[in-house]
Amino acid sequence: MFRNENVFNSRVPGLVATLQRSPYDWNYTTVPQPGLNGRSILIPRGHILGGTSSINGQFYTRCSSSDYDREAYNHLFPGLSADWLQAERWTEPADGHDTTGEYDPRFHNKNGMTYVSVSGTPQAIDSKVLEASKQLGGDYAYNLDFNSGDSLGIGWVQLTVGHGERSSSATAYLGPKYINRSNLHVLVGHQAVRVLNTTSRGGVPSLRTVSVYIGPVHEVTAKKELILSAGVIGTAQLLLLSGIGDPTEVRSKGIEPLVNLPSVGKNVTDQPFLALQWGLGINGTVTPSEALQQQWLAQWNQTRTGPLSSIGHNHLGWVRIPDESPVWSQYEDPASGRNTPHIEFAFNGGAFYPNPGATLTTVLIGLQPVSRGTLALNSTDPFEHPLLDLAFLDSDLDLYTMKYAISSLRRFLKAPAWDEYKLSPVSPLPDDDDEEGLTEYLRNFGDSAAHAVGSAAMSAKNASYGVVDPDLKLKKATGLRIVDASIMPYVTAGHTQAPVYAIAERAADLIKDSWK
């Protein structure tokens, strides 16, 4: 793992695409996915201090309030607002423009930890998106602030960017003010390889010891408890390597079972993703020239402004499949409530700044997948990636949702606001009524939103399933608590970064309360 301070591309918001498939990415891939016509796909995870918050797209979406009213979450979050606000430090965008009407200050905090702002880089399509929203209304009505608890509609993006730089868990929680504390020691280049049984009382393991690879393997024992935050992939792999999981499964790898928790590595859930490019029918270039890129870089270096101070996406859209849709006579609605979207749009006006480029890039995400995947050990080698099966598009409902996303996006792009452009798909896209063609298109070009959760899911205290209790302590053991996206029993209807920050803030309170 790398320190984050000197990784230039991590600091620059607009260089996010360069971080995938880099040394700062674990470079996990799935096993071949039948739902994606046998393709294996990349699942980016941060191999850098700050984890994936140091390489992700920087979207900050709390999702709908209904997501946290589910029984699976409300044991952990009896009062959610304080945890959101502790995690957030709202700041003005890099270009300092007037943000009136772009967010609602009632739902934000200027004194928290992680910088959050709207985009500081205007795009020519911004006015088109807003005009189309006004013309169409309904599903596409303007939403002043989708982080208010009601996320439906079209609104300005909010990003973990402050003063033109990425804000991550490393820059926020391990910044200079904290990393030099006498009671904090941050080690990089070390990897936890197993959790060990320290002592047992009444047959209940106490898991306060961890094996750490530094070249040789060292054992480190906590006086109070271990906090495991290795992420949705690393956490489940480490548990299984330690004999924590399905006894039959771990024994098949020659590992002695330690804690019988069959839910470890199950319930893994990720959101399907599709990127579509639309020709604008104007002159422009998709890829900026080398000279222009150097100009942007010089501007960022000098002032922390310009195209590289943001990510290109200035607006997001959140849409529900209608309640009267015939699909709900066949399937139960997986959304948590009527203020919870099923699909997300993101709009990027291309790289030619300040005018739009030759293309409009749109991103579609199925927010409420019902397909469930698994994570299993490939071997007992902790440095070998596990077998990750995300079961993409295994469900007909997930396929329907993505098809609906395409048709809904097409409706939005037919608003009169877009008339000056001659929008057409860059690559052939089947018509909305071509069910077989759309299915094949999604299986050939669908991808991951990289929002996987659930491999060590939380459940009620006395539930017979799950991996952690609502206090985030491992079931059937003492001494170990898990704090990362793996504990999320459902993927929330948006990007997972903000919910994980809230989980971490809540966990900090739980831990402090335990040791008063």
User: What token pair was written down for 469?
Assistant: 């209790």
259: buried, middle or exposed (CB in 10 Å: 19+, 13-18, 0-12)? Answer: buried
Query: How many C-beta atoms lie closer than 10 Å to residue 167's C-beta?
Result: 26
210, 230 Cβ separation under 8 angstroms: no
106, 379 Cβ separation under 8 angstroms: no
Q: Per-residue b/e over 209-240, b at no fewer than 16 CB within 10 Å?
A: bbbeeeeeeeeeeeeebbbbbbbbbbbbbbbb
Catalytic member of 108, 313, 315, 495:
495
Give the span between the Cα atoms of 198 and 182, in whole angstroms.
26
CA 259 to chain centre: 29
380: buried, middle or exposed (CB in 10 Å: 19+, 13-18, 0-12)? Answer: middle
Give the span between the Cα atoms of 322 and 319, in whole angstroms.
9
Whole-angstrom CA distances from 353 to 83, 125, 128, 159, 349 are 37, 11, 16, 20, 9
Does 52 belong to an annotated binding site?
Answer: yes
| Angle subtended at Cα 227 by Cα 221 and Cα 229, rounded to the nearest 5 degrees | 130
* Known active-site residue 495: yes
Catalytic member of 47, 108, 315, 451:
451
User: What token pair was written down for 217?
Assistant: 């393997």
450, 42 Cβ separation under 8 angstroms: no
In degrees rounded to 5, what are phi and psi of residue 410? -60, -40
Sequence ranges of the binding site for FAD: 52
Q: Which residues carry out catalysis? A: 451, 495
